[in-house]
Amino acid sequence: MYHASVTQTTPDQVAIAILETIPPSMRAIREQMRSGRAASLSVAQFRLLLFVRRNAGTSLSPLAEHLGTTLPAASQLVERLVRAGLVTRVQAPAERRRVELRLTDAGGSTVAECDARTRAWLCDRLSGLTDAELVGLAAVLRDLRELLSPDGA
């Protein structure tokens, strides 16, 4: 495990700490989010639901790019979730050739349930911190998000 020097911390040391912290943290969060009702979903299907929730009305191309897959593979994932009643495909009103993706009520409930369970798990993990530690952690996370954001904000 990485331990920063007390006297001097370099950008490289912080980069290593970020790379050693974020991926295992995300694995734990994904595991929590997929537990319970969403356990029957593949990781790709769950990521699709999350992307569509954040980007209601998205089309297949941005979804495929986000998933790192081909358009036909993304289309197959969408089709499975449409058949499961979690996603709908609707023809865009302004562009007849564009199909918009949206969560159904069941899809939204699945993601909301996973979110609530994951937030409760995180709150349990954070409950031992002092108010000052919570404020400090929130500030560091905000700063990191802003620093790593593609648009710098």
Chain segment 30-55, per-residue pLDDT in tens? 888 777 666 677 778 888 999 999 99
pLDDT tens per residue, range 42-98: 778 888 999 999 999 999 999 999 999 999 999 999 999 999 999 999 987 887 788
Contact 109, 29 (CB under 8 A): no
Q: Which helix (H) or strand (E) holds 137?
A: helix 131-148
Number of separate domains in the chain: 1
Q: Look up the CATH number of the domain holding residue 58.
A: 1.10.10.10
pLDDT given for residue 89 in this prediction: 93
Could you tell me if 112 and 92 are in contact, meaning their C-beta atoms sit under 8 angstroms apart? no
In a domain, 35, yes or no: yes
Task: State if pTM tops 0.85.
Answer: no
